[in-house]
Each structure stands twice: as structure tokens, then as C-alpha cells.
Structure 1
Amino acid sequence: MSTTALPDYLSPEILLNPENREFPEFDIVRLLHTVFEPTQGCRVCVLIDFDEPQDLIKDFTFNGKEGFQVQKNAHKHFYEPLQEYAMEKLGMNGGEMFAYRCTNGSNLDLDDEVWDTAGNLLSLDEDIYPKYDLILCISTWSATAPLTAKAKEFGFRGATLHGLNDVILNSGLSVDYNEVSRDAEKLRLALTNADSMEIDFTLEDGRVLTATLGLNKQDAQKSHGLCHGTKPDIANLPAGEVYFVPADANGQFPMKYEDGTLGVLDVKDRSIYRSTLIEGNQQTIDDHNARLADDPMTGTLGELGFGTQVLPVSYADIQDEKVLGTCHLATGRDDHLGGDILPDMFKRHENATHDDILFAPHKTPNFNVSQVRMNRGGEQEILIENFRPSKYLMDALAG
């Protein structure tokens, strides 16, 4: 295979050691200009979240408190530069910061209450969404799904950047998003209209679990970071992903829970219906099974995604799921991806999340994605082997 058409960041040396990739210094002007062109005349604001926003946002009180690293990054790297120079260079105005109440769940709908930095109570629907052209949501929990719905309703553009940390700032947000978009499109074309995907997971005891996801020849979609023009849209940053909304799913795949417990998830007709302990805490498995029994929609698979970028591990899924050679599944709502799983289909509001399940060497060292295969038009292509992109994907990137 010739790699002469591949940029340096796709060289074998960097693919094996992405932490050695060099990135330019983070530049908010470059980022916002690239992602949101045009910016001239746009009114912009920054949203952050707290459990008790009314106390912490007033006079930026959170800056003097312990913790709140995401919110402090939002203030230091977005709010302050916007006020000092970035808005003028980009031809924007506004730049205010507001805080809403933490949802405590990935992609749950936001409460309408929001507070400004003077401590005044406002309404997202009345005071924020209709009055800003660009909304940057830098939060603890992802808000991509609810903001995508609100963008369509009120006509704004924006970006969600949850879990923002220093690694993300200096890598995933420092890349050229024109390059990210080009690479994502090459891989999207390589995967689009697939009939199905098969994923093999090899456990430490030698067992191989296989999950098969039916895709019904749908057009692959991409999260590529560009949100140009005036069409309502939300970019999820860092971007760099090709994804599908599964039409069906069957088989098994492993799950590493937040407490480190490992389980095997059984899937039928697109839904997880049972978890079985591999090692760890049986109560964690029992709790998951009780949740599945109480509200089966929580086990519905709403996404299959593949990373397209070469980035260092950030220990935040928002970046790490965008790494080339990784894949992820997600349960729950998928309306923001063009799917049919809506928040009102869940038994309770707090269940209507979109939760990513990332398979990556640092995240799931107890099992290996030994192979991912695409079936399309009677032919089969290997996409990933042992968390490495295949020749098929590398040839697509070189095209």
C-alpha cells in the first residue's frame, strides 16, 4: 500500500503512538472561524452548568472555589478571550456567560432556568435561544441531543464541548477542522450503505463475543466539526466520527461499568435484555438488570460510531471516541442522530439519556476489539483489527 498521499499524522509511527503527534497551540479565533464560518454579525454566548448555578455563576464565584475544572476552562479559554479580542476579530458581539442546572445524565433535556453572571434568573427558551446566533455549551454532561432539538426550534447554531480538559484543548480543539472534515467524509464514503457490521470482542479468558448490527443500507453520517452557513446545527467538539443508527442488533458484547465491574450484555432485536457478571460487583449487574426490566427502552441501541482522528488519550470519552481504530455503541435516545428513539418513550425523564459505550485500549483493557467487519452488497471488508485501522480504511484515507 502506498501512503504517499497520507499526511504525517496518519503515518504508521503516529498511529502507533498518537501522543507523539504535534499540534498547534489552541487558538479560539481559528477554531470558531473554521467551525462557524461565517461569524460576522453573530451574537455569541457561553453556557456552563452547576448543581447550584445561582450561587456559583454570580460574579464568577466558581473561579474561587475548589474543583469546577470544566467551567474554569470555559471561563479562561472561551469567555475571557471572547471579551478581550476574539469577538472583535471574528466580527461577533455578545459574549455573555450563563449557567444552567446540571442534568446529571448524558443528553438529558435541560431545565429552562438559567442564571446570568449578575445572579439574575432567566429563561433558556425566552432569553437565550431566540437571542443568540451561536451558543457554546461547555458543560459537565453532554447536551448535544437537547441543544440539537432547540437549535431546530429556534434557529441557532452552536457547539457542545462537555468534559473540556487540557488535553482536549491542546489536541482535539487545536486541529484543523477542514482536515478533520475531509478525513471524516472519506471514511463516511467507505462505510456508507452497509448492510451490517459485525464486531468481535476477545475476553481475557479467550472467549470471543460477537455483536451484529443491522444497518439496512442507510447513508452513513459524520460528525466532522463544521457548522457553516446559517442552517441550525450543533457541532459536537472534538469531532471526527462516522456513525449509524442501528436498525437491528443481536449477539453479545462486553461492558465495563463505572466501578470497574465487567459484564456480558445479551442483545436481541436491537435491545440489551440481560447482563451477566464476568468479574467485579454482582450488585452492579443486578442493578443494571433491574433497570432494564423496569424500563426496557434504556437498553435500546441508538448508535454505532467509528473514530476518524489520530488523537492522544484524554480520558474523556468526548475525545477518545473520535480516535481512529476505536468504535463505540450507545444506548438510549437517538433523535439528535436522526433516529426514532425519543425522550417521551422512556418511563421516566431521568432515563432518557444517550450513553456512549466506548471500546478503546485505555478504556477497556480487559477485552480486545479483535475485528470489525462490514458487510455490503455481498462483499465483506475488515475495518478494524486489534484497535488498529485496516488497510481498507487507510486506503480510503489515502484516496
Structure 2
Amino acid sequence: MSEALTGPELVALVRRVFQPRPEDKALAILVDLPDLHVPDDAGWIERRAIAQAWADTLNAHRHELGLETRLVVYPNVHTNNGDLPERAWIHAGGPLPSADSLDPAASVSFAELYAGHPILIALTKFSATAPLKLAAKTHPIRAATMPGFRSDMIPALRLDYTEVNRRVNLLKELLDRAEGAAFRFGTPDGPCELFVDLRHRTGHASGGLLPAPGAAGNLPSGEAYIVPYEGERDGDPSRTAGVMPVQFGAEVVRYRLEGNKALEVVSEGPKSREEAAHLAKEPAYGNLAELGLGVLAAFGVKPIGEILLDEKLGLHLAFGRSDHFGGQVGPKDFSGPEAVIHIDRVYVPETQPDVKVLSVDLAMADGSAAPLMRDGAYTVGF
């Protein structure tokens, strides 16, 4: 690991993010395990090592923190934001087991885990954000999800999250008052325009603070986000429509959206054909599930190729599952558990250099347009 948090820094992080209460007695650090279906990789190995190091360090400071920390493992679920398995294993120490060597008799249900561990940190390969958000609605937990976390993200854990939180809440308030968002993108093949319907929705603030039970969110954090209206009200279809460009390598794929769904790909190329086939096979993949507004680029944070951090830098749009954010599309809408996905596309120069965010304007309830972005930068006075 190129960088590590010290014991005092870890204690301060847990206190700042979760603000533990006297009745909180234990914290669980979750890791998912590789299997024959999804083999191990270097980043996953490092992430599990970080989880073990954090568990050991926090336990060394348990009297100072006031919490016991337990490392908890479970078999990976093969996809981002898929439902968690029914059982988990509290690790007794030593080398971590493999997924196929877990003893069912030694497991606990996730409901039992939540009952005894009101604070959770998920240092996983596959995002557990969606299932933990849903679990937080029925269990008094608060969970920080860190899918794909790497040691080079550690500087982002040291930011001034009071200021991050202030900016995120300002953006959330704008999303709350908006009824739509009009995008104009520049691409090598010409401009693309997209309108996103934000009626009947309110925004969410993910500013890196989770002090109250019933909440789950990413860490590092720093975004306001909202689920576009998906047309679930009788006689009131979604007005989301237009063309959304996404750069994959040297190719810019252009999706045509109508009724908040990507119905077809209107560009040409290998990736365009691949994405068109994916839409045909999994229509729920094309659901526009999120409009997100990250703020961390203003703090000097650069993308590193991991969505956990990169999406917090600036504008992002996501396809797929939305029920964990208050939307309508969930696992039932996909062909199977392993097909469930929520995938963010991040619009900053380093991640999509050939797609320019020329403008974003919010359509307000009174009919006015409020400028939000020009040439990739916020026009909001922070």
C-alpha cells in the first residue's frame, strides 16, 4: 500500500463520518471474496489487506473509539449493486478464507449482523451501495460503501468534509427545485442534446457524513444526486429524451433516449454494436437512473479510474438500477441477479476527453432556466 491512515486518523474518520452514539457498541468492516466465477486481482487483494489493517488498527484503539471492530466476509455477488447473500461470516483472525471454504454453520444472517453492528464500512470489489441503502430503510444502520477503494484514494478521506457537505447541500437544493435539466454536449461528430425529467423527485446529498441511523452512502463522497422521473404515474410519461454520448476508449457511443430509457444506439463502431446488443438483451440497463453532481474536482482531486472516486469529481449520469435512490427500477427488472447493474458515466476531461459538457441548464417550476454548468464548470456561486 502506497499510503495508509494512521490509528488517530482512522479514529477521527469514524468519528467524523458516523458520529458514534453511546448505544453503538460494534462496527463491521465488510469484504467480499473472490470465487471461481470472479477470480482475484491485485486491487482486490490490496483492498482486503486494507480492510484487515483497518480492523486491526481500530481494535487497537477500541477504548478510545468506544467500539469493537469486526471483519466480516461474504462471497461476492458477481455484479455491482446486486443483492447481498443471505449469510455472512465474522472473521476470527488470521488469513482470510476463500469463498468456497466458508462453513455455513459458522455464518450469521445479515439481519443478525445489522442488529449487532449499527455501523458498517464496506470495502468491497462489487458495490454494496444499493442493498445497504435498502437495508438501512428497515434496520437502524448507517453504512459507508467503498467499492473499488484503493490506497491512492486515501488523500480524499482527509478533505474538509464540512465544506464538501455545504457545497453538496447547495446543489441538492437546486435539484429539489428543478423540474428538468437540459444538457448540450460537444462530440467529434457534432453536438448532442438531452433533456432529463426531474419532476416528482427530490435530490439526495452525499457529503461524506452519516450521523443518523437509516443511511448508507459512498466514502469518499461529495455529490448531490437525483433519480430522473421514470414515468411510473398513470397518464404522465417521462419527458426524458434526447441523445446521450459516452466515450469508450477512442469511440463515442451515442444513445437515443425516450421516456427515460435508452432505446437504441445511433452511432457506429465496435463499442456501439456491443452497447446496442446489451440494450436489446437487458432493457433495464438503459434506464436513466441518476443525475449526479460531484464537487471534489474543486478540491484538487483527480480521477484515478475508479468510479467510487471519479464520479465525485463532477457531472455524471448513470444507467440501470434506481430503486436504492428512490426510483422504480430494481433487480426484478433484470434477467437475473448477476445482470443487475448501476453504472455511472463521468463527464470530466480526464475520463471523456472527446465529450465536452457545453452547458447544463435547470428548468425551474416557474418556467425560468437556471444555468448550472458552462464548459464543464459549475456556474453556481459556492
TM-score (norm 1): 0.81
Tell me the secondary structure at the aligned position of residue 244 of structure 2. Answer: strand
The residue type equivalent to 2:34 in the other structure is D
Residue matched to 1:182: 166
For 1:66 and 1:204, the matched residues in 2 are separated by 34
The residue type equivalent to 1:102 in the other structure is N
1:71 maps onto 2:48 in alignment = yes
The residue type equivalent to 1:208 in the other structure is P
Give the CA deviation at 1:166. Answer: 2.3
For 2:283 and 2:277, the matched residues in 1 are separated by 10
Which digits, 9 at most, give the CA deviation of each residue in 1:127-154, with x for residues without a partner? 4223211111001121100111122233
1:335 maps onto 2:331 in alignment = no
Residue matched to 2:70: 96
Give the CA deviation at 1:36. Answer: 0.8
Identity across the alignment (%)? 25
Q: 1:154 to 1:28 in 2, by over 3 A?
A: same
Which digits, 9 at most, give the CA deviation of each residue in 1:168-220, with x for residues without a partner? 111x2112322222221122223322121011110124x00011101116332
Moved over 6 A (4+): none
Gapped runs of 5+ residues in structure 2?
98-102, 230-237
For 1:335 and 1:313, the matched residues in 2 are separated by 27
The residue type equivalent to 1:219 in the other structure is T
Residue matched to 1:222: 205
For 1:164 and 1:294, the matched residues in 2 are separated by 30
Equivalent residues in 2 for 1:161-180, closer than 5 Å: 161-170=146-155, 172-180=156-164
Residue matched to 1:84: 60
For 1:191 and 1:112, the matched residues in 2 are separated by 36
Residue matched to 1:271: 261
Residue matched to 1:135: 120
Give the CA deviation at 1:260. Answer: 5.3
Q: 1:67 to 1:156 in 2, by over 3 A?
A: closer
Residue matched to 2:244: 253
Give the CA deviation at 1:341. Answer: 1.4
For 2:322 and 2:20, the matched residues in 1 are separated by 29
Conserved? CA contact 1:39–1:92, under 8 Å: no
Equivalent residues in 2 for 1:260-339, closer than 5 Å: 261-279=251-269, 282=270, 284-309=271-296, 310=299, 311-323=301-313, 326-339=314-327
Give the CA deviation at 1:292. Answer: 1.7
The residue type equivalent to 2:181 in the other structure is M
Residue matched to 2:351: 363
Residue matched to 2:374: 385
For 1:313 and 1:298, the matched residues in 2 are separated by 25
Conserved? CA contact 2:124–2:146, under 8 Å: yes
Give the CA deviation at 1:277. Answer: 3.6
The residue type equivalent to 2:177 in the other structure is N
Residue of 132, 137, 156 corresponding to 1:152: 137
Aligned pair count? 350
Q: Quote the RMSD (CA, aligned, Å).
A: 2.5
For 2:125 and 2:58, the matched residues in 1 are separated by 21
Conserved? CA contact 2:288–2:320, under 8 Å: yes
Give the CA deviation at 1:381. Answer: 2.0
Residue of 230, 236, 245 corresponding to 2:218: 236
Give the CA deviation at 1:42. Answer: 2.8
Residue of 20, 33, 36 corresponding to 2:18: 36
Which digits, 9 at most, give the CA deviation of each residue in 1:280-307, with x for residues without a partner? xx2x333322232233122111111111
1:194 maps onto 2:184 in alignment = no
For 1:97 and 1:123, the matched residues in 2 are separated by 13
Q: 1:245 to 1:67 in 2, by over 3 A?
A: closer
For 2:242 and 2:254, the matched residues in 1 are separated by 10
Give the CA deviation at 1:96. Answer: 1.4
TM-score (norm 2): 0.84
The residue type equivalent to 1:338 in the other structure is G
The residue type equivalent to 2:351 in the other structure is K
For 1:48 and 1:125, the matched residues in 2 are separated by 13
Give the CA deviation at 1:126. Answer: 5.0
Residue matched to 1:5: none
For 2:358 and 2:351, the matched residues in 1 are separated by 15
Tell me the secondary structure at the aligned position of residue 173 of structure 1. Answer: helix
The residue type equivalent to 1:379 in the other structure is S
1:351 maps onto 2:327 in alignment = no
For 2:31 and 2:70, the matched residues in 1 are separated by 11
Q: 1:84 to 1:260 in 2, by over 3 A?
A: farther
Give the CA deviation at 1:254. Answer: 1.1
Give the CA deviation at 1:163. Answer: 1.3
Conserved? CA contact 2:318–2:342, under 8 Å: yes
For 1:169 and 1:190, the matched residues in 2 are separated by 30
Conserved? CA contact 1:50–1:101, under 8 Å: yes
Tell me the secondary structure at the aligned position of residue 17 of structure 2. Answer: helix
For 1:385 and 1:141, the matched residues in 2 are separated by 34
Give the CA deviation at 1:39. Answer: 4.1
The residue type equivalent to 2:25 in the other structure is C
Give the CA deviation at 1:228. Answer: 1.4
